[in-house]
Amino acid sequence: MVRVMLEDADYCDVPSDLMTFDEGVIVFWRDGEEVGRHRQVRIRALELPAARSFGRRIEEARKTYPNAYRSWTTEQEETLTDLFHKGAGRDELVQALGRQPGGIETRLRALNLLTEEEKLR
């Protein structure tokens, strides 16, 4: 989806996965078929609403969980493994790693420390 911001504060959402430029016109495509076109002189901006909302989600999550959506380091994985083997619970792991509970569970499964059926307690 692309939000096309037009002159006069008007806009339209175009279900597009590709844009091409053709003699002063932006052509929008979806799955290989043209789904719209707008003259470049009328366009003020192009936005990707889904990407914008995901960015906000990350920012909000990081207010509570500073490492949310960040790549795991070897050191963090070692800390997770060590704390898990010592019997640390969900809240302790969240506090120590600064990550969301779901992210911790997913990493524990990737490290084969939790099965798909098990939940972090």
Q: What pLDDT score was predicted for residue 47?
A: 84
pLDDT in tens, 27-70: 999 888 999 999 999 898 888 876 556 677 888 899 999 998 88
| Structural contact between residues 83 and 66, judged by C-beta atoms closer than 8 angstroms | no
Q: What pLDDT score was predicted for residue 51?
A: 58
Q: Which residues of 10-46 are buried (b: 16+ CB within 10 A; e: fewer)?
A: eeeebebeebeeeeeebebbeeeeeebebeeeeeeee
Out of 3.30.450, 1.10.3470, 1.10.10, 3.40.30, which CATH number does the structure's domain 67-110 have? 1.10.10
pLDDT in tens, 75-105: 999 999 999 999 999 999 999 999 999 999 9
Question: Looking at the chain, which residues constitute the CATH 1.10.10 domain(s)?
Answer: 67-110
Q: What pLDDT score was predicted for residue 13?
A: 87
Q: What pLDDT score was predicted for residue 52?
A: 59
